[in-house]
A and B are shown apart, each in its own frame.
Chain A
Amino acid sequence: MSFLPAKRAPRIAIYVAVILGYAAILWFYVFPWLDRTFINKPTF
């Protein structure tokens, strides 16, 4: 794709950064919300 650098190393670095960023958003925001909304509400 044209918006990615042509060289391999920066391209891989961008892939890794995007994956880690996505994982962090899931782990710290999306998953806790899913957990408290659908999975874990043991109280009244």
Chain B
Amino acid sequence: MKTLRTTGNVFIFLGLSILFFVLYELVGTSAITKGHQSELQAEFDTALAHPAGLNPAFTGDLPVPGTGGGGVKGIARLKIPKIGVNVIVVEGVTLERLAYGPGHYPQTKLFGEKGATGVAGHRTGWSAPFFNLDKLARGDEVIVETTAATYTYRVTDTIVVSPAHSEVLDGNPKSHAEQQLVLTTCTPKFTAKNRLVVFTDLIQTVAR
């Protein structure tokens, strides 16, 4: 009887620990990212209003490394109307950076440069900006605002690859567009098993 009771208590203990982990993933991490994004959105609005004035950290399309105090600055605003995404993109894709929002792969081109620009974002926790990335289909629009211009991309393809296939960051091999944006996230949801990759082609640039 005592063994049964001890076993039951152990399972209750483990169950509560798992529930605590779910709370951490869905509420705790998202609260951290929402706090960061709120600050980044306000800073980015200021930068757009005063591109060459009040905020010297924003100099066109250049990535801005963390400034004084270890702060992380946004480099662009990413909008995906179909899935309700409106987030600030930061430079770098370390997990520390992705806690702020989607990150630009440093080894890929910057927005507005010829070639492929890569952006990674979380799909579980940390506000899950790319939670519904799988809902995107060919023809959907992705909009990127920088202090230099607004870029409109159109989805051309969506694929799932293993984490070893980093060549997807070179862009869609089927596309001939000079500038592409590649969005990556985890798939299936709630696991890090594979990567969901969304290829887009630049279709319009409107300079500021």
Contact = CB atoms under 8 A, between A and B. Distances in A.
Interface of A: 23, 26-27, 31, 34-44
B192 A38 contact: yes
A35 B192 CA distance: 9
B154 interface: no
B102 to A, nearest CB: 9
For chain A, what secondary structure do more than half of its interface residues adopt (helix, strand, loop), or is it mixed? helix
A41 B164 CA distance: 12
Interface stretch (B64-72, B82-90, B182-190): B182-190
Given A26-B17, A38-B191, A43 B24 contact: no
Interface string B118-130: 0011111110001
Interface residues of B, number: 32
Nearest to B187: A42
The 4 closest A-B pairs by CB, nearest first: A44-B166, A41-B192, A42-B185, A43-B93
Contact of A39 (B28, B130, B166, B190): B190
Nearest to B164: A44
Contacts of B191: 38-39
B29 interface: yes
B174 interface: no
Contact of A44 (B20, B126, B184): B184
Contacts of A38: 191-192
Contacts of A41: 163, 186, 192
Interface string B168-208: 11000000000000001110001110010000000000000
A34 B21 contact: yes
